[in-house]
Structure 1
Amino acid sequence: MARIDRISVDALDEHQLEEVRQSVRRERDAEANRPLSVAIMGQTGVGKSSLLNALFGTRLAVGDDKPVTREPHAISVPGNSGHTLTFWDMPGIGESAGADRAYASMYLDRLSESDVVIWAVHADSRSAADETRHLNRILKGADPQLRREVVGKLTFVLTKADMLTPPPWIFDMRGRQGSFVPSPALAARLERRAGHVERTVLEPWCELLRAGTYNTGEFAVSDERLSFDRHAVHYRGHFSEQARERYSAAHPEHAAVFSRLRDNHRVLPCSALFRFNLARLMVSVVNKLGPTAIFRFQRVLDDAAELAGVPVAAMREYGNFVVWDGVRGVSAYDLARFPL
């Protein structure tokens, strides 16, 4: 939007002022009603399509043997009053050096056009070095401003967290349905994995990182890295867990704001199979889209509360140990035989 200084406004007559007001309203309405988009990136086989299927009940093709997403695939989610939020399932990176080079410009274009970028990392990956290499390759040809914009959009998630065992997962059963939660030991293991990805992949870009969230109108903290207005709060840099703890201790009345800022850079473990942290992921994405998105996609947030539910019948099919007594030739223990 073009800037109009006070001298030029004062010099306008009433008719010209009304034209300016109408122009500002048109631009404001266009911004408020524009479609928003989220790109889902990551290496081949990390479960991007499975994640979208779990989130939205779609039937995107998934495969264990070879990549099945060759072209960007869009899933559009209606919000309130006809607003649209589109999730882009992108072809996996790391399939081959040739494919990565061929897709590089497509990745950069989609990342630059998207409002948020979810970068999926396999939770059982032993190293995050490949993610750093792929991100560097994609951003190599970008100018500094575009690089800053893309890095600021990134949200990293650990997918297929259900594959991390032992320690065990806990199924919290409530009648015919329940939800999966990691045991304390497994939660600590997931936290260590997430911290490793954050330090390895995200921290090197700390000078380009930005965090933002909505403002309810009460936030007012004077700090060189923080900026705010009536609608939004922004932080310049990497908003680490240490930063969240420090700001929350100094300004406990704004702890919820600092928690939302932290979500911008928190690496979130999730599982499409166990439907673990899917609701938290959706809330994090909508929060990161900006203050107007909170109201435009309130229906999406309301629906997110149902994402964690797993029927007991389905849970029993996800895995089981059968203890076989080889001396007597009988089954000593089989969970499937016990009623719940």
Structure 2
Amino acid sequence: MARIGRISVDALDERQLDEVRHSVRQERDAEANKPLSVAIMGQTGVGKSSLLNVLFGTELPVGDARQVTGKPHAITVPGNSGHKLTFWDMPGMGEPSGADVDSMAMYLERISESDVVIWAIHADSWSGAAETRCLDALLARVDLDLRRQVASKLTFVLTKADTLTPPPWIFDMRGTRGSFIPSPPLAARLERKAAHFEKAVVEPWAELLRASTYNTGEFAVSDDRLSYDKNAVHYRGHFSEAVREAYAAAHPRHAPVFARLRDNHRVLPCSALFRFNLVQLMVSVVNKLGPTAIFRFQRLLDDAAGLAGVPVASMREYGNFLVWDGVRGVKAFDLERFPL
């Protein structure tokens, strides 16, 4: 006998069943149309607003002249999918207004209430000390459950990867558009940076971390650190690349699940200007969301393919070199003059 809540389906007439179905649809639609709540953290100047603008089609002000707010400011705008997006504009970590006890409480509140929390770190850095200090301050005064919730919700990204040259970037041109790809030496450099920051800001919290992803209903692995139900799969600890490789080798049938769990704790280099790795960032965010939030973010994921393309005309503006022959007083090389 099927049951809906505490109601036996057999005990309902057709009219009552229609009412129940209508109620379920209303709840689903209400969940699907709730504003998406995104918080982005990081030090001033790492490109937080630029990243949000490209990812979600917003028009948040950018630039060093933008006033730093002392308190979080909610901005609700339509995203590029037509879905409402609530962006929490917060003080830059490391600013005086972002360092005291009240500010730490503010960050904790925003993290707890947001669907997505992106922590941006400038790619042209090797330290991680400022991020570690801020994490220590965030988690020092809260109970264990909240520490686990906060630590597991963060998605770390290395922004402004376009500033890392040399080695060069490659522009893969396909007609009037193309994609920026790091050359093999630069890709290796980005991988080293990502691994460094994962070790610095993710690995120290291994015992607090929980990795989660959606379950398509076929996952079944018996393991002390893994748990699952019909909707989700969870892992207790830091889901490192070594952990992913070990599970994928032991259970190849479930390799896609382990890849999604890995996305929870991967540090991802990206560039808003070059639109580099933005699709992967959106996929990583969706992979770690719960079932209801996934339904709301699916529209954004459906539009993610459009994040990668860059017009050839824009590419020319990003990387033109003009070589001037000072002896002869003429241009020796100008990329704009070469047909593509």
Q: Distance in 1 between matches of 2:210 and 2:201?
A: 15
| Deviation for aligned residue 1:267 | 0.3
Check 1:282–1:261 CA distance in 2 against 1; reply closer, same or farther (3 A cut): same
State the identity as a percent. Answer: 71
1:164 maps to amino acid: L
Deviates more, 1:30-39 or 1:56-65: 30-39
Counting matched residue pairs gives 318
* Equivalent position of 1:95 in the other structure: 95
Helix, strand or coil for the counterpart of 1:124? coil
2:265 maps to amino acid: H
Check 1:202–1:245 CA distance in 2 against 1; reply closer, same or farther (3 A cut): same
- List gaps (5 residues or longer) in structure 2: 1-5
TM-score, with structure 1 as normaliser: 0.86
Helix, strand or coil for the counterpart of 2:173? strand
**Per-residue CA distance 1:223-266 (angstroms, 9 max, x = gap):** 11111111111111000000111111111111111111000000
Say if 2:92 and 2:98, in contact at 8 Å, map to a contact too. no
Check 1:234–1:308 CA distance in 2 against 1; reply closer, same or farther (3 A cut): same
| Deviation for aligned residue 1:292 | 3.3
| Deviation for aligned residue 1:78 | 6.8
* Equivalent position of 1:115 in the other structure: 115
Q: Distance in 2 between matches of 1:244 and 1:63?
A: 39
* Equivalent position of 1:216 in the other structure: 216
| Deviation for aligned residue 1:35 | 5.0
Correspondences of 1:70-81 after superposition (within 5 Å): 70=70, 71-76=72-77
TM-score, with structure 2 as normaliser: 0.86
**Per-residue CA distance 1:165-189 (angstroms, 9 max, x = gap):** 0111111111111111111111111
**Per-residue CA distance 1:263-295 (angstroms, 9 max, x = gap):** 000001111111111111112212222233334
Helix, strand or coil for the counterpart of 1:198? helix
* Equivalent position of 1:144 in the other structure: 144
Helix, strand or coil for the counterpart of 1:195? helix
* Equivalent position of 1:44 in the other structure: 44
**Per-residue CA distance 1:67-91 (angstroms, 9 max, x = gap):** 54554343455799x9755343322
| Deviation for aligned residue 1:61 | 1.2
Q: Distance in 1 between matches of 2:312 and 2:288?
A: 33
CA RMSD of aligned residues (A): 2.6
Check 1:79–1:185 CA distance in 2 against 1; reply closer, same or farther (3 A cut): closer
- List gaps (5 residues or longer) in structure 1: 1-8
Deviates more, 1:307-316 or 1:286-295: 286-295
2:202 counterpart of 1:196: no
Helix, strand or coil for the counterpart of 1:318? helix
Q: Distance in 1 between matches of 2:77 and 2:238?
A: 31
* Equivalent position of 2:275 in the other structure: 275
* Equivalent position of 2:155 in the other structure: 155
